[in-house]
Amino acid sequence: MSAIKKSNILKTGESTWSFHGGIKLPGHKDMSTGKPIARMPSSDRYVIPLNQHMGAEGEVLVSTGENVLKGQMLAGPHGLISAAVHSPVSGKVAEITQHRFPHPSGLAGTCIVIENDHKDEWVERNPIGEDYTTISSHELRNIVRDAGIVGLGGATFPAAVKQTEVGIETLILNGVECEPYITCDDMLMRERADGIIKGAKIIAHIIKAEQCIIAIEDNKPEAIEAITRAVSRDGSENITVQSVPTIYPSGGERQLIKIITGNEVPVNGLPADIHVLCHNVATSYTIYKAIFEAEPLISRIVTITGRGINSPRNLEVDIGTSIHDCIEHCGGYSNDARALIMGGPMMGLTLNTDELPVIKATNCLLVTAGIDISLPDSEIHMPCIRCGKCVDVCPANLLPQQLYWFAADKDYDRAVDYNLFDCIECGCCAYVCPSQIPLVQYYRFAKSNIWEQERERKKSDIARQRHENRLERLEKQKQEREARLKKKRDALSKNKSSRDKEMDKKKALIAEALARVNEKKSKQNTKAKNTENLTPEQQQKIKQADARRENMKKHENQ
């Protein structure tokens, strides 16, 4: 894939490119932007899930009853795609147990529970500061990895894994925040713009990017102004600010790249294939904190909003804080509070309880009241009338109605043929559907079943391979055993043949000896018969002669 031509990227102003589909949504952003970011007071107890990110959960490094310091690593990354988790406070590890946390499965996961001692004692820290330019990309990636930093735009993919310095020319910081109600990135850009710019420069240094573009929706003039001023103060010539149209889901990675560059990420490809890397502005700020203050990811900005909240605002919340405590700090629920959603109304996760911890993916806690945004939430819906509205708004340029039929019929092969996995589950199709069909739920169901089938297929392949390996191993052992037996038989046969020859030789010698003995006896008998007719004097002379011969033989032998 060829690199993006620099002439294809606007240096200032608004983008001239767009993506297919998308919808205009009421923002409801002003509900939570009237107050500055506040610090959530510390709690007595924190629940820290090990799995707050995409990939494998961390490996526990502490034990129950152990005293820990603020910023201490509780679990280290395990494998390539994994992230560390740290203690947001100093205190004691009360328990390591199964506890529910915000997750689509609704199941419990391994969590480390910390009892706060309220001493706020930090682990030893060694900030790098401006000297980061003297450190290699590999070392900086390890710092980002050990700090537990993940994408804070919602995907929570480990940030260090994305930061390759091979072939990346353009860094795009995503400050679009296109979902209704969510304003945590907006307020972060307004109040902490300098940190975002420093973080952008660190990332650009790691990936060796030639330029950085900070994309912000045009409905955030205060954020655009704050970031522009910060870029001016920094004096960097390779960082530009670009406003993008306010249309949902312009904050999607592929959609934003199309808006900024005019190029599309290949199907089944990555932004790196067209020499682009995307990071969220909050991720950039967290990387700045890790390098300049040696602070791991132990807190984040959370928008607490909706008509079901008495006093909406943005809070900086420590990871592991109870969601219930956060809502109570914002005045609690209103009388007509309806539903609690982590995230926005389009792609958020509905929670059935607030007795859950804030995690790295918690960018917003939305409490609806009445009908804030009309989304299909019932299993009962009208039949599809094939109006084609879903096709018009699909930002991935898919055919949602066809995918719906394939998913409903469990015809997963056809669904895959129609690029089911290109669906970003933005909810645009369900939002405009006049039949109120929960289309995204069908797509998620189909994806889950396909993944399950793939896992079962892999298990089957592994089992078959193990069986084939076992048969091969048994056959090899059989052949080796037969070879050993043959070798042993050959050796025995050879030994037997040798013994038979030796025995035959011995038998021949014995036969010869017996023959000599018999011959001697025969001679003696003959001699004895011949001497019987002699006179006694003659016999005496013969005996004397025999005696003399015997004495001579004895003398010769001596």
pLDDT score for 558: 59
C-alpha–C-alpha distance, residues 248 and 282, integer Å: 20
C-alpha–C-alpha distance, residues 444 and 326, integer Å: 30
pLDDT score for 372: 53
pLDDT score for 16: 59
What is the pLDDT confidence band of residue 85, given thresholds at 50, 70 and 90? very high
C-alpha–C-alpha distance, residues 446 and 452, integer Å: 10
pLDDT tens digits along 39-79: 999 999 999 999 888 888 889 999 999 999 999 999 999 88
Angle at 247 between CA 244 and CA 250, to 5 degrees: 65
Domain boundaries, the chain: 6-369
pLDDT score for 553: 66
The yes-or-no verdict on residue 150 having pLDDT over 50 is yes
8 A C-beta contact, residue 472 and residue 480: no
pLDDT score for 15: 53
C-alpha–C-alpha distance, residues 247 and 20, integer Å: 11
The yes-or-no verdict on residue 377 having pLDDT over 70 is no
pLDDT tens digits along 268-280: 888 988 999 999 9
pLDDT score for 12: 42
Say what percent of the chain tops pLDDT 90.
64
Instruction: Give the rounded distance of the alpha carbon of 396 from its chain centre.
Output: 25
Which carries the bigger pLDDT value, residue 250 or residue 503? 250
Q: 6-369: which CATH number, 3.40.50.620, 3.40.50.880, 2.130.10.30, 3.40.50.11540?
A: 3.40.50.11540
Judge residue 234's burial from the number of C-beta atoms within 10 Å of its C-beta, 0-12 exposed, 13-18 middle, 19 or more buried: middle
pLDDT tens digits along 509-520: 888 888 887 777
pLDDT score for 5: 37
Q: Is the N-terminal amide bond of 249 cis, ω within 30° of 0?
A: yes
pLDDT tens digits along 410-441: 999 999 999 999 999 999 999 999 999 999 98
**Which residue has tokens 């009962």?**
380
Hey, is 86 helix, strand or coil? strand
Q: Determine the average pLDDT of the residues in 127-133.
A: 92
